[in-house]
Structure 1
Amino acid sequence: MIENNDRQLLVLPDRDAAEEIAEDLSARWPELGAVEIVRDSLAGEDDAEDAQWLVVVEAPEDGGWTAQLLADLDRLVAEQDGWREQD
């Protein structure tokens, strides 16, 4: 088991990708519970187009993060030109 209480932030280039990932997560891993989509403006950018979208995922209650689950998240997000960060 990896860190049990850590939140994972999935960083994506646009809203459509974030919504697709959020739906996929809910379908594949219902134990993750509700996921949150958040718009994150880049520091110093005035253009609304210069924003990243975050999908916030809490650790599963039934044992926390496993190396396999984190690898699956990494692969899923990479398919959408995104990446995962630990909060």
Structure 2
Amino acid sequence: MSDVRHVLVLPDRDAAEEAAEALGERFRLSEEPQLVRDALAGEDDAEDAQWLLVLRDEEKRLDVRELEEFVGEWDGWREEP
């Protein structure tokens, strides 16, 4: 089985935490998404960071368009890992 991942980028920690909780409910994930802080290059302020939700999808059951629509609800986007 291949290691398929989806990376959702969110503007702040609150949005990322809310989205992580909602992801599990909406998509019935078998495991919690990994929450990662991604400091923007060249930024010293801790507030200037994006938050990433990393989802494993080895069974390839998550639809890319649905994920993009979902993360858009929090002003975020999906990136290719």
TM tier relative to shorter chain: 0.7 to 0.9
Task: Tell me the equivalent position of 1:42.
Answer: 40
Where does 1:5-84 land on structure 2 (aligned, <5 Å)? 5-59=3-57, 61=58, 63-65=59-61, 69-84=63-78
Count of residues in correspondence between the two structures: 80
Q: Which amino acid aligns with 2:53?
A: V
Q: Secondary structure at the match of 1:31?
A: coil
Q: Distance in 1 between matches of 2:30 and 2:7?
A: 13
Maintained 8 Å contact 2:23/2:29: no
Q: Are the equivalent residues in 2 in contact too, given 1:5–1:64 (CA < 8 A)?
A: no
CA-CA distance at 1:34 after TM superposition:
1.6
Q: Is 31-40 or 6-15 further displaced after alignment? A: 31-40
> Percent identity between the aligned chains?
52
Shift of 1:29: 1.8
User: Which 4+ residue blocks in structure 1 deviate beyond 3 angstroms?
Assistant: none
Structure 2 unmatched ranges of 5 or more: none
List gaps (5 residues or longer) in structure 1: none
Instruction: Work out the CA distance in 2 between the residues paired with 1:65 and 1:14.
Output: 27
